[in-house]
């Protein structure tokens, strides 16, 4: 049976590498000779131990992590992390800095404030509709951490470099750009990422946490809301999201086998986004919405001359097998999400369509 696949530019859940999907499909009734589906094997079995440890090892290799970091798998998405981070790290006399670069940062701030935690916002790009990443941020040297959203899916901006914090650990929501580029890990105390953009299916959140930072966490928390629980039990205090962790391992293996390193992955992503921004910048028809120095390599947001044309653009693209190009419902416009799994073929199909749509309607 021939399968018709679309060019998938969804913001998340997003496209996964076809070879990963094919591998899951092929072994879905019999994982690794176990006679069981990956969804049916015990998390206390040697089969699953190999799965979870493989995913962790690949994450550590790609990010060049030493043994000072735990790689954990937590459920509840980035949204539960918004609550867990202040819960774990802000005691009565503590304060943290939150840099506000859009919808997700705003939600992270709200979940800390709802818990009556003391937080400050030393920088925000709200004054210009979150179209840029603030520079030269003065962080509080007494803050427990500085929280950032490394890539902003809705507004199409991304931290190209990370703020100077004078040793205060960065805590970063990297749901939409984890493993898209190498990271200066010495700056980070904690990185979290919902899997459904660059890593795997929804329902698993990867948390990378520096051990010395973790050891400063509050210890009077419900088990499932304490990072220490996950670290002590290799993320298996209770049954983990096995299928998600398995898929994440396969995606990381795909990065290693296809690109070799995050440096090469970043080159590929820069090239992909460049193709699209070049087309937009040389056109009077398409307008990029993010400021040039703040543009995301993962989510390219743009407008057409009218909302009517944007509607036609999205509908026309769908007819040609190009999906997910509608902007987030809160901002409108158009958006192409081109995470790690987006291929050069996807980019060629998109730019070809954009050029012809401009020709017909420009």
Residues involved in catalysis: 104, 173, 197
- Give Cα separations from 129 to 117, 132, 133, 328 (angstroms): 26, 8, 11, 14
What's the min distance (Å) between Cβ of 11 and a second copy? 7
- Binds a second copy (CB under 8 A): choice among 32, 35, 186, 264: 35
In whole angstroms, give the CA distance from residue 251 to residue 14: 13
Q: Residues 40-59 vs a second copy: string with x where CB under 8 A? A: xxxxx---------------
Which residue, 157 or 175, has its beta carbon nearer to a second copy?
175
Interaction between residue 75 and a second copy (CB under 8 A): yes
211-250 binders of a second copy (CB under 8 A): 220-225, 237-244, 247
Quick check: 186 binds a second copy (CB under 8 A)? no
When asked if residue 150 is in the footprint of a second copy (CB under 8 A), the reply is: no
218 or 283: whose CB is closer to a second copy? 218
How would you write 50-100 as a 3-class SS string? HHHHHHHHHHHHHHCCCCCEEEEEECCHHHHHHHHHHHHHCCCCCEEEEEE
8 Å CB contact between 174 and 108 = no
CA distance 186 to 40: 39
3-state per-residue secondary structure call for 338-361: CCCCCCHHHHHHHHHHHHHHHHHH
- Residues 76, 77, 78, 79: is their CA dihedral positive or negative? negative
Among 122, 134, 323, 332, binds a second copy (CB under 8 A): 323
**Coil, helix or strand at residue 254:** helix
Q: Does 294 bind a second copy (CB under 8 A)?
A: no
Q: How far is the CB of 362 from a second copy (least distance, A)?
A: 28
Asked if 80 is part of the footprint of a second copy (rule: CB under 8 A), the reply reads: yes
Rule CB under 8 A: say whether 201 interacts with a second copy: yes
SS3 content of the chain, % helix, strand, coil (to 5): 40, 15, 45
Does the footprint of a second copy cover residue 10 (CB under 8 A)?
A: yes
- Peptide bond connecting 70 to the previous residue in cis, omega within 30 degrees of 0: no
Residue 76 binds to a second copy (criterion: CB under 8 A): yes
Region of 112 on the Ramachandran plot (φ > 0 left; ψ -120 to 50 alpha; else beta): alpha
Token pair belonging to 3: 């399968």
Count of residues that bind a second copy according to CB under 8 A: 69
Is residue 142 involved in binding a second copy (CB under 8 A)? Answer: no
Look at strands 7-8 and 69-74 and give their pairing.
Answer: unpaired
Using the minimum distance from each CB to a second copy, give the nearer residue, 23 or 60.
23
Least distance to a second copy, CB of residue 128, Å: 27
**Binding of residue 34 to a second copy (CB under 8 A):** yes
Q: How far is residue 361's CA from residue 285's CA, in Å, rounded to a whole number?
A: 9
Stretch that binds a second copy, among 39-47, 95-103, 127-135, 274-282 (CB under 8 A): 39-47
Q: Which residues bind a second copy (CB under 8 A)?
A: 3-6, 8, 10-16, 18, 21-22, 24-25, 28-30, 33-37, 39-44, 75-80, 82-83, 87, 111, 114-115, 194, 196, 200-204, 220-225, 237-244, 247, 321, 323-324, 329
């Amino acid at each position: 049976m021939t399968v018709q696949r679309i060019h998938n530019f969804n913001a998340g859940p997003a496209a996964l590498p076809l070879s990963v999907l094919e591998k899951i499909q092929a072994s879905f009734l019999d994982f690794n000779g176990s006679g069981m589906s990956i969804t049916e094997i015990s998390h206390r079995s040697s089969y699953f131990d190999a799965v979870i440890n493989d995913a962790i090892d690949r994450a550590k290799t790609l990010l060049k992590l030493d043994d000072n970091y735990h790689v954990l798998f937590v459920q509840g998405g980035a949204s539960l992390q918004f609550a867990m981070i202040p819960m774990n790290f802000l005691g009565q006399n503590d304060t943290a800095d939150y840099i506000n670069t859009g919808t997700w940062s705003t939600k992270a701030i709200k979940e800390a404030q709802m818990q009556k935690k003391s937080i400050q916002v030393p920088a925000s790009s709200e004054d210009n509709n979150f179209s840029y990443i603030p520079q030269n941020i003065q962080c509080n040297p007494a803050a427990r951490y500085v929280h950032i959203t490394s890539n902003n899916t809705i507004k199409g901006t991304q931290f190209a470099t990370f703020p100077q914090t004078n040793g205060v650990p960065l805590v970063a929501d990297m749901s939409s750009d984890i493993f898209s580029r190498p990271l200066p890990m010495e700056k980070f105390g904690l990185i979290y990422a919902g899997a459904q953009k660059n890593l795997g299916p929804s329902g698993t959140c990867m948390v990378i946490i520096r051990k010395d930072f973790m050891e400063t966490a509050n210890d009077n928390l419900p088990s499932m809301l304490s990072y220490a629980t996950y670290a002590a039990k290799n993320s298996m205090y209770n049954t983990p999201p096995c299928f998600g962790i398995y898929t994440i391992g396969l995606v990381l293996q795909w990065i290693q086998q296809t690109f070799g390193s995050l440096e090469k992955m970043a080159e590929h992503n820069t090239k992909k986004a460049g193709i699209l921004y070049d087309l937009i910048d040389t056109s009077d028809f398409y307008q990029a919405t993010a400021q040039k120095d703040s543009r995301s390599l993962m989510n390219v947001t743009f407008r057409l001359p009218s909302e009517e044309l944007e509607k036609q653009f999205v509908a026309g693209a769908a007819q040609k097998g190009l999906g997910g190009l509608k902007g987030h419902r809160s901002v409108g416009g158009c958006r192409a999400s081109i995470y790690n799994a987006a291929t050069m073929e996807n980019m060629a199909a998109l730019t070809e369509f954009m050029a012809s749509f401009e020709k017909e309607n420009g």
